Amino acid sequence: MSIHLGLDRVRTPVGDMLVVTGEDGRLCALHWQRHEARLHRQLATRHRHARIRIAERRAPDEVRDPLKSYVDGKLDAIDAIPVDTGGTDFQQTVWRALRAIPAGTTLSYGALAVRIGCPRAVRAVGHANGANPISVVIPCHRLIGSDGTLTGYGGGLERKRWLLAHEGIAFADWNNSKIAV
């Protein structure tokens, strides 16, 4: 069986986004240019029983236009982008909860675990967050440490800082990465 995917590139002030869509037009992966190898590894893992064929092609307007609008400052534009995440039931629960975090706000991993009804699953939430195949649209950058510090982001902490600042999150101290409350 073959899976045919399209790869588009959307320019941003912090590097090109790699936008992968399926034959049905839904967004199935979004990573940053610098992390293209990780993108390919995740796609290979997700579709391990199929042959993946990726062709450079423009993403459908339903995906591309909202991404560009988000970069231009219309932060809620990405909320309606149709996605196809794959993943386990738990991962999908975490990813749906991430999409419910409004732009301009953050949440700790622990608070997200409570929100999905699994207060003791903080590490599992962190793992699911790290496995997120669709950064920005499934806004894993909006999760922070319980003490208000920025914690890992697959696209790099500088990009996470930019995304949060772009969404209006003020930082008390850029050097220590503490988010103002």
Q: What is the pLDDT of residue 181?
A: 34
Q: What is the pLDDT of residue 180?
A: 41
What's the mean per-residue pLDDT of the chain?
Answer: 91
Give the contacts of 178 (CB within 8 A, at least 6 positions apart): 147, 148, 149, 171, 172
CATH of 2-80, one of 3.20.20, 3.30.310, 3.30.160, 1.10.3470: 3.30.160
- Which residues of the chain are in CATH 3.30.160 domains? 2-80
Buried b / exposed e over 49-88, threshold 16 CB at 10 Å, is eeeeeeeeeebbeebbebbbebbeeebebbeebebbbbee
- Which residues of the chain are in CATH 1.10.10.10 domains? 89-179
Q: How far is CA 57 from the centre of its chain?
A: 21
Q: Mark whether 140 is an active-site residue.
A: yes
The pLDDT of residue 174 is above 70 = no
Q: What is the pLDDT of residue 172?
A: 58
Kindly name the residue from 94, 140, 163, 164 that is annotated as catalytic. 140
The pLDDT of residue 175 is above 70 = no
Q: For residues 179 and 13, which has the higher predicted lDDT (pLDDT)? A: 13
Q: What is the pLDDT of residues 67-98, one digit of tens each?
A: 999 999 999 999 999 999 999 999 999 999 99
Q: What's the average model confidence in pLDDT over 158-164?
A: 93
Opening angle at CA 66, ends 88 and 107, nearest 5: 50
- Which DSSP symbol is given to 104? T
| CATH fold label, 89-179 | Arc Repressor Mutant, subunit A (1.10.10)
Q: How far is CA 14 from the centre of its chain?
A: 15
Q: What is the pLDDT of residues 24-40, one digit of tens each?
A: 999 999 999 888 888 88
Q: What is the pLDDT of residue 49?
A: 86
Residue 53, φ and ψ in degrees, nearest 5: -120, 120
Q: What is the pLDDT of residues 45-67, one digit of tens each?
A: 888 888 999 999 999 999 999 99
Q: Which residues are paired to 54 by β-bridges?
A: 5
Tell me, yes or no, if the pTM score tops 0.85: yes
Share of the chain above pLDDT 70, in %: 94
Which runs of E-coded beta strand occur in the chain? 2-10, 17-21, 27-32, 51-56, 107-108, 143-144, 171-173, 178-179
Structure tokens that stand for 93 in this block: 């629960």
Q: What is the pLDDT of residue 84?
A: 95
Q: What's the average model confidence in pLDDT over 126-135?
A: 94
The span from the first CA to the last CA of the chain, in angstroms, equals 50
